[in-house]
Amino acid sequence: MSNELLLRYGANPHQAPSRVFMNAGELPFKVLNGNPGYINLLDALNSWQLVAELKKATGMASAASFKHVSPAGAAVGVPLTKELKKAYFVEEMELSSLAAAYARARGADRVSSFGDFAALSEPMDLETARLIRREVSDGVIAPGYEPGVIEILKEKKKGAYVVLQIDPAYVAPEMETREVFGISFEQKRNMADITGATLQNIVTEKKDMPEDAKRDLLIAQITLKYTQSNSVCFAHGGQAIGIGAGQQSRIHCTRLAASKVDRWFLRQHPVVLSLKFREKIGRPDRDNAIDQFLEDNLTPAEQFSWQNNFEVPADRLSYETKREWLNLMSGTALASDAFFPFRDSIDRAQQSGVKYVVQPGGSTRDDLVIEACNEYGMTMAFSKMRLFHH
């Protein structure tokens, strides 16, 4: 390891020269393959923190799929249902707990995860390497790699796939500094510990919170800690299933994330799982075709695009059919990085099966948000912990 790494360029090709460096000590990671870029390293270092915290909070193998310094998905190694295996295109694969975590992280929003940077809480095993080899991905960060894994990863991107090994013992300084427009900003690093303690202050009439719901609420909160704000995160079954990042309005975060939740669940509809794709249609094209198939009000050109990839099913999934399927969703968890200023986010969340909520609280309209949760039979906790990330 050294204290400096020269990069090809910064965020854009015209932003050169570029480097990362340490003022004291050596960089806490090694480049085992490829030539990481500026955005690659932003994704890698944020995503590593996320999966390390998920592992610490849940005790389970964890993975994240990052794009443009926000997670497209994050998950722990809960075994996949047969429907999810088919929806994630892994039904024929052997999945370790780590591979299951990455399949879930990647599967939360497969369209957005195209060209992701992956993060793993454990040394990468062969099962996870074989899974990542099949996907369009730019790089991975992990604390280690089992024998034979690096050779598999070198088959990607004509040998240029970025492989980083992080020192899991590295602890960043308490204070962090960044520079904007020649001006230095300094603050204490976000060292907030997200544990079950953030879920103890339940403010709704309904108080029950099963262990699976607690796990999913922890996953959602930790995901938000590394998501560009404003943000909300829906989680279910040990994984994030909808993340709304970087919006100026809380309700727009919720609508964006909830639309992803609905798309995630609709991908498991029997009609979608039984689509007959034409020969030699790769997974990215399948993902895009399914995404368009589930979209309403497509133009003729867009309809032709997905019809060219698979046989048109007799059932086109009408609005009523979709709504009937989505009404089956239940037990979804929702976290917000700051308080809900109005009840509108709760009204939208209940349409996507939300039963458990955690948010900081502190709005002048907290009583109206609690009232909305009570109307829908939700359990909501006030964490009193804001999780803005910029």
Give mean pLDDT, residues 360-371: 97
β-pair type (354-359, 4-7): unpaired
In this structure, the answer to whether residues 69 and 213 fall within a common structural domain is no
**From CA 387, how far away is CA 194, in angstroms rounded?**
10
Q: What is the per-residue pLDDT for 303?
A: 66
35 carries an active-site annotation: no
Q: What is the CATH number of the domain that holds 258?
A: 3.40.140.20
Confirm whether 180 is domain-assigned.
Answer: no
Give mean pLDDT, residues 252-258: 96
In this structure, the answer to whether residues 305 and 340 fall within a common structural domain is no
Average pLDDT in the chain: 94
Confirm whether 227 is domain-assigned.
Answer: yes
Residue 318, pLDDT > 90, answer no
Confirm whether 14 is domain-assigned.
Answer: yes
- From 14, 207, 276, 390, active-site residue: 390
269 carries an active-site annotation: no
End position of a domain, from candidates 287, 312, 337: 312
Confirm whether 132 is domain-assigned.
Answer: yes
Read off the DSSP letter of residue 312.
P
- From 68, 154, 252, 322, active-site residue: 68
Q: What is the per-residue pLDDT for 314?
A: 60
In this structure, the answer to whether residues 144 and 287 fall within a common structural domain is no
Residue 305, pLDDT > 80, answer no
Residue 388, pLDDT > 80, answer yes
In this structure, the answer to whether residues 259 and 298 fall within a common structural domain is no
Residue 210, pLDDT > 90, answer yes
- Residues 6+ away with beta carbon under 8 Å from 18: 6, 7, 8, 9, 10, 38
68 carries an active-site annotation: yes
In this structure, the answer to whether residues 98 and 71 fall within a common structural domain is yes
In this structure, the answer to whether residues 211 and 254 fall within a common structural domain is yes
**From CA 277, how far away is CA 262, in angstroms rounded?**
22
Give mean pLDDT, residues 190-212: 96
In this structure, the answer to whether residues 262 and 303 fall within a common structural domain is no
In this structure, the answer to whether residues 252 and 162 fall within a common structural domain is no
Q: What is the per-residue pLDDT for 310?
A: 67
Give mean pLDDT, residues 368-389: 97
Residue 88, pLDDT > 70, answer yes
Q: What is the per-residue pLDDT for 312?
A: 65
End position of a domain, from candidates 171, 205, 231: 171
Residue 298, pLDDT > 80, answer no
Q: Which of 6-10, 102-106, 311-315, 369-373 has the lowest mean pLDDT?
A: 311-315
Q: Which of 68-82, 203-217, 270-284, 357-371 has the lowest mean pLDDT?
A: 270-284
Q: Please choose, from the candidates 54, 378, 376, the residue with its C-alpha nearest in 3D space to the C-alpha of residue 359.
A: 378
Domain that holds residue 302: 275-312
- From 33, 40, 46, 67, active-site residue: 67
Give mean pLDDT, residues 308-332: 83
Residue 302, pLDDT > 70, answer no
Q: What is the per-residue pLDDT for 319?
A: 86
Residue 155 CA to its chain's centroid (Å): 25
Strand order from edge to edge, sheet including 379-382: 29-33, 162-166, 137-142, 116-120, 62-67, 70-76, 239-245, 231-236, 332-336, 354-359, 379-382
In this structure, the answer to whether residues 203 and 73 fall within a common structural domain is no
In this structure, the answer to whether residues 237 and 145 fall within a common structural domain is no
In this structure, the answer to whether residues 203 and 229 fall within a common structural domain is yes
- Residues 6+ away with beta carbon under 8 Å from 348: 251, 254, 255, 258
Q: What is the per-residue pLDDT for 280?
A: 82
Question: How sure is the predictor about 296, in pLDDT bands with cuts at 50, 70 and 90?
Answer: low
Question: How sure is the predictor about 317, in pLDDT bands with cuts at 50, 70 and 90?
Answer: confident
Confirm whether 45 is domain-assigned.
Answer: yes
- Residues 6+ away with beta carbon under 8 Å from 299: none
Read off the DSSP letter of residue 228.
P
SS (H, E, C) 17-78: CEEEECCCCCCCEEEEECCCCHHHHHHHHHHHHHHHHHHHHHCCCEEEEEECCEEEEEEECC
Q: What is the per-residue pLDDT for 315?
A: 66
Number of domains in the chain: 3
Q: What is the per-residue pLDDT for 245?
A: 95
Confirm whether 285 is domain-assigned.
Answer: yes
Q: What is the per-residue pLDDT for 352?
A: 96
Tens of pLDDT, residue by residue over 134-171, are: 999 999 999 999 999 999 999 999 999 999 999 999 99
236 carries an active-site annotation: no
Q: Give the whole-number percent of the chain exceeding pLDDT 90.
A: 86
Tens of pLDDT, residue by residue over 104-132, are: 999 999 999 999 999 999 999 999 999 99
Confirm whether 117 is domain-assigned.
Answer: yes
Confirm whether 94 is domain-assigned.
Answer: yes
Give mean pLDDT, residues 339-343: 96
In this structure, the answer to whether residues 104 and 206 fall within a common structural domain is no
Residue 306, pLDDT > 80, answer no
In the block, tokens 């994330």 appear at: 257
Give mean pLDDT, residues 70-92: 96
- From 33, 40, 46, 230, active-site residue: 230
